[in-house]
Amino acid sequence: MNPDGSLARLEDVHKWFGADLYVLRAIDLAVAPGEVLVVIGPSGSGKSTLLRTINMLEEPTEGRVLFDGVDLTDIRTDLDRARAEIGIVFQQFNLFPHMTALRNITMALEKVLGLDRGEARERALENLRQVGLEERAGSYPGRLSGGQQQRVAIARALAMRPKLMLFDEVTSALDPELVKEVLDVMQRLATEGMTMVIVTHEMAFAREVGSRLLFMDHGRIVEEGRPREVFADPQQERTRQFLAQVL
Amino acid sequence: MAVAQEGASGGERQRPDRGPRWFVGEQTPLSTLTAVTGGAALAVLVAGSIAVLTIHGWTPSEQLAEGITSDAQRAVLMATIALGVLAAGLGMRFRRMPTRPSREASISGAVLGLQAIALAGLYLWFRAGDVETFARNFFEFQLVGEYLPRFARAALNTLILALSGEALGIALGLVLGVFVLSDRRVVRAPARAYINFFRGTPLLWQLSFFFFGIALGLRLNLGPFEVAILVLALNAGAYSAEIFRAGIQSIERSQFEAARSLGLSHFRALRLVILPQAIRRVIPPLTNEFVILIKDTSLVAVLGLTLSQQELMATGRDIFSQTFNATPFLISAAGYLAVTLPMIRFVTWLERRLRSGLTGIGA
């Protein structure tokens, strides 16, 4: 935990891509333990970049990123250790296509956490069971549907027993009938008390599951609050426009 | 994966037969005649020529030359051309054919006829020249039996050169390919310089320079065969480095990000996630590279190999200078083809397999 009681914290974070693409502008954000933070906003608003900054897949051009009492922007910090404690699930699943579902999960358990093969296998199977895919343990990702692949990807992240889970538009690449199976897994995680940051276009899900909502536009946090309240009565004109278009 | 359900609606039927039996059944008399005539033109040319030449005898070369210039061979060629012209003429009516199979058969028959005419024409042109001299120089097949053991040894040497060069080259190329993609210029620049040098100078120059220059000049106690393997490896290393570089770059960046976000270090992400996928993808181009290397081993002949070290090209040349007969070069060519043709087919097969994505590799 950070000194202020948050688990993850961005302090005055700015990010440029190249010389003139200014994607994050003065972001200050604290994620409390147990919180389910949902980030919405139009495409290009910087929400994915914000999420990827939390585990330093994107390095901020300026500002600090703190996770669990450690400054990740300090070059002396062992980023690999911090990343092992932050799970992330991507829009395109990003499973390793040359490994079975099981091996996708056990690989990092063995190589990063140092579990022996038996322990890793047991834990991986347990996590596959949680997402309802134990019987597909031996399948290669190419043989799984999008929804199944995404559930394996979630199991892979969860098996590391992370303190924080990041979800980057995880249902956007799925066929409509496969969205629910993935959202169900995330909803259960939320009720179990996992700390989560979720970038999503699923507004109903954001309202039901989020404990806090962030609306971003042009690299800034425009509005934040309890999801039901923001949806019912947005305070900013920009938020109102956006919600009118997507709801 | 979702499986399509059997349609419950009516009108279901068996998948129609579209095999060879159906194809033959769809022919008209004219299309059948065209296809048969075209095939016959080629068959007469090949079978007739073999029969004539066998009757005259393949060795010695005087007999062969006599067979080539004989009236019987002339008759075979004329018959071929007649059949070919007939097939081509009949095939011109392909537009009138009622079905697609009969149209296809007409076109194929005409094409076969034209191919037979072209081959027979080449043969006619060839036999109008000094066949006897040509046959004496290139078709002296008794020499084959005599020198076959030497060629067997030569083929083995060619394979040793190519395989050891390629094996060392791949190991070197993998390291260079990774170096050349480094974010650090001090790592990247030397690797790039090495690759460009070895890709930018002729292999013949490299072999000469290393053997006559470096090995002799520095009194490295290395024979031509060892130098040859070394230089082939250095050269193959540069080319396979480029192949590995392209292979690594073809793996989506998101794979690397996924690996890093699990806490794997840069090096481990490369070794466990990126390289295994990249290596699967570069097997076809690496095999192509190997085929090229097999042929490039022929340049080693300039280094003056001892008798037991000679590969296919040097052996052919050596026997040529002893016998003043060029037939051994044909045997060299046959030796190269015996190795390269299966490799080329292997690449085609592998590429199709990778493309189909059924293997879980390269998906």
Q: Given CB atoms, is B188 within the 8 Å cutoff of chain A?
A: no
Joined together, the tokens standing for residue A76 give 């002396």
Within a 13 Å sphere around the CA of B253, how many CA atoms are in the beta-carbon half? 2
Amino acid B2: pLDDT? 46
Amino acid B212: pLDDT? 87
**How confident is the model over A128-153, as pLDDT tens digits?**
999 999 999 999 999 999 999 999 99
Q: Which residues in chain A are contacts of B260 at CB distance < 8 A? A: 57, 80, 83
Q: Which residues in chain A are contacts of B254 at CB distance < 8 A? A: 90, 92, 94
Whether the predicted pLDDT of A30 surpasses 60 = yes
Amino acid B363: pLDDT? 38
Amino acid B14: pLDDT? 87
Q: Which residues in chain B are contacts of A86 at CB distance < 8 A? A: 261
Chain A residue with Cα closest to B279:
A98
Sign, CA torsion B96/B97/B98/B100: negative
**How confident is the model over B338-358, as pLDDT tens digits?**
889 988 898 888 888 776 654
**How confident is the model over A185-218, as pLDDT tens digits?**
999 999 999 999 999 999 999 999 999 999 999 9
Whole-number Cα distances in Å, B349 to A54, B281, B338, B340, B361:
46, 14, 18, 14, 14
Q: Given CB atoms, is B190 within the 8 Å cutoff of chain A?
A: no
Residues A41 and A7 sit within 8 Å (Cβ to Cβ): no
Amino acid B360: pLDDT? 46
pLDDT > 90: what percent of chain A? 93
Query: In the A/B pair of chains, how many CB contacts fall below 8 A?
Result: 70
State the pTM of this model: 0.84
Joined together, the tokens standing for residue B34 give 């065209």
CB contact under 8 A, A90 and B362: no
Q: What is the pLDDT along chain B (363 residues), one digit of tens a residue?
A: 444 455 555 678 888 888 899 988 888 899 999 999 999 999 999 999 999 999 998 888 889 999 999 999 999 999 999 999 999 999 988 888 889 999 999 999 999 999 999 999 999 999 998 988 888 888 888 888 888 888 889 989 999 999 999 999 999 999 999 999 999 999 999 999 999 999 999 999 999 999 888 887 888 888 889 999 999 999 999 999 999 999 999 999 999 999 999 999 999 999 999 999 999 889 899 999 999 999 999 999 888 888 888 888 988 888 888 888 888 888 899 989 988 998 889 888 888 877 665 444 443
Q: Which residues touch B177 (CB under 8 Å, ≥6 apart)?
A: B240, B241, B242, B243, B244, B245, B247, B248
Long-range contacts (CB closer than 8 Å, 24 or more residues apart) made by A235-238? none
ipTM exceeds 0.95? no
**Strand ranges across the sheet with A21-31:** A21-31, A8-17, A62-67, A70-71
Name the more confident of B362 and A184.
A184
Q: Given CB atoms, is B356 within the 8 Å cutoff of chain A?
A: no
